[in-house]
Amino acid sequence: MNSVLIHGYQLAGPLLDAVDLLGTFVFALSGAAAGVKSRFDLFGLMALSFAAGNAGGITRDVLIGAVPPAAISDWRYLGVSLLAGLVTFFWYPDIDKRRRLVLLFDGAGLGLFAVAGTQKALIAGLNPLMAIFMGVLTAIGGGILRDVLVNQTPTVLQADIYAVAALAAGVVVVIGYVLHYPAFLMMTVGALLCFWLRVMAIYRGWHLPVARSHNQPD
């Protein structure tokens, strides 16, 4: 079984792949939902689903030298992306009724991608600081491309807590790496922290401060 030894802790390759694939499915689902709202046809919906689910991972793999990227060399990434697109195409009304649930899934995907991206960067030998950056890039890359393709301002550029949640998850993974804690434990804690921050942003309205323009009232 393919595995990597990190500070004496054996992290199974299939386990890390499973986290990556689950995050891919969730983000592909959000991409397909955005495509339905923008009235994309079936082909456009599938393309947007794949882009949203895999853009961050492809960018990460290229930057850390893991080429060809997993999303291109492993058929499972295409498979879960197309599955998410088909599920959304046929059952979008039911999905739209549970819009907040989709946002929660998006938060879960954000956390999964952030910890998986950070962990893969550490395995590739990047220093901890850049590994965190790779984790954030993995988490937000698909969402940025999704929003751009449907002509919306990317969520990550707005005040909502999004990239910061992914950043927090990456920091947790790196702290565990530096302190020689079990990788799977720290990935779990990091993903849960990211998800919790997204839940607070959705339900409590947590957001980052926004600069006040000259024409806004005090």
pLDDT in tens, the chain (218 residues): 344 444 433 444 677 788 888 889 988 988 888 888 888 999 999 999 999 999 999 999 999 888 899 899 999 999 999 999 999 888 877 766 666 777 777 888 899 899 999 999 999 899 999 999 999 999 999 989 998 999 888 878 775 788 899 999 999 999 999 999 998 899 999 999 999 999 898 888 777 777 676 666 55
Give the integer Cα–Cα distance in Å for 189 and 184.
Answer: 9
Cis ω before 68 (30° cut-off from 0): yes
Do the beta carbons of residue 138 and residue 60 sit within 8 Å? yes
Do the beta carbons of residue 192 and residue 111 sit within 8 Å? yes
Distances (CA, A) of 207 to 115, 159, 198, 203: 22, 5, 10, 11
Would you list the domain boundaries of the chain? 3-204
